[in-house]
């Protein structure tokens, strides 16, 4: 899932985790990474994790890429110029690793999700629940984020549209997780 640390931190668990991810991905085992997890997957595959030009915190639009992988993972009906709303809480981003295909892109953070084989790496959070959002909002001040940026919302702004956005977010998560689960059957 996510976490306050960086995928670049020198922690006792980082190197062994990257090796485990690299082995699983090389063997074609389905992996899924949300935010920090997507960043770690990218690093395991030779990608880079770097500071994003701006923080993204709150509800932000992403766009479904017009490619075969996006259609397979998300369906034909969402490919196109209309954005889908996702939840964000990050200040870093990943590069798309070699052999992977980007399926979601954003304005403030270009790389939002990629697939490689049966694995899915995401920068955005599609797994959110109202309780998770409320818990994260309690730590909003620690982010030192600029609420005047279009990519940053205050807790009040996030929670004001939470119930209407959470249903669309859950529908997006259902599509992604349904496709990811198919990889477990192989």
Residue with tokens 């249903």: 167
Within 8 A by CB and 6+ apart from 170, the residues are: none
The 10s digit of each residue's pLDDT in 130-161 is 999 999 999 999 999 999 999 999 999 999 99
For residue 69, pLDDT over 60 is answered with: yes
Domain residues of the chain, as ranges? 14-184
The 10s digit of each residue's pLDDT in 16-57 is 999 999 999 999 999 999 999 999 999 999 999 999 999 999
pTM higher than 0.85 for the full model?
Answer: yes
Q: What is the pLDDT of residue 81?
A: 84
Within 8 A by CB and 6+ apart from 38, the residues are: 94, 113, 114, 121, 122, 123
DSSP E strands, 19-148: 32-34, 49-64, 84-94, 101-106, 111-116, 119-122
Q: Which CATH architecture has domain 14-184?
A: 3-Layer(aba) Sandwich (3.40)
The 10s digit of each residue's pLDDT in 43-54 is 999 999 999 999
Number of Cβ atoms within 10 Å of the Cβ of 49:
19
Task: Measure Cα distances from 184 to 1, 29, 112 in Å.
Answer: 19, 8, 23
What is the distance between the alpha carbons of residues 68 and 71, in angstroms, rounded to a whole number? 5
């Amino acid at each position: 899932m996510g976490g306050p640390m960086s995928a670049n931190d020198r922690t006792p668990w980082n190197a062994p985790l990257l090796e485990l991810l690299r082995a699983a991905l090389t063997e074609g085992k389905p992996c899924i990474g949300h935010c920090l997890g997507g960043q770690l997957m990218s690093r395991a595959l030779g990608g880079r994790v770097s500071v994003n030009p701006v923080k993204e915190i709150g509800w932000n639009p992403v766009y479904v890429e017009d490619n075969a992988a996006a259609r397979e993972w998300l369906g034909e009906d969402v490919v196109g110029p209309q954005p889908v709303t996702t939840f964000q809480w990050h200040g870093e981003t990943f590069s798309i690793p070699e052999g992977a295909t980007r399926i979601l892109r954003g304005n403030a953070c270009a790389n939002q999700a990629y697939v490689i084989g049966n694995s899915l790496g995401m920068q955005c959070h599609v797994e959110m629940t109202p309780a998770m959002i409320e818990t994260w909002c309690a730590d909003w001040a620690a982010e030192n984020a600029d609420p005047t940026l279009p990519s940053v919302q205050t807790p009040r702004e996030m929670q004001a549209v939470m119930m209407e956005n959470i249903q669309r977010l859950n529908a997006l998560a259902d599509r992604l997780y349904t496709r990811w689960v198919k990889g477990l059957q192989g």
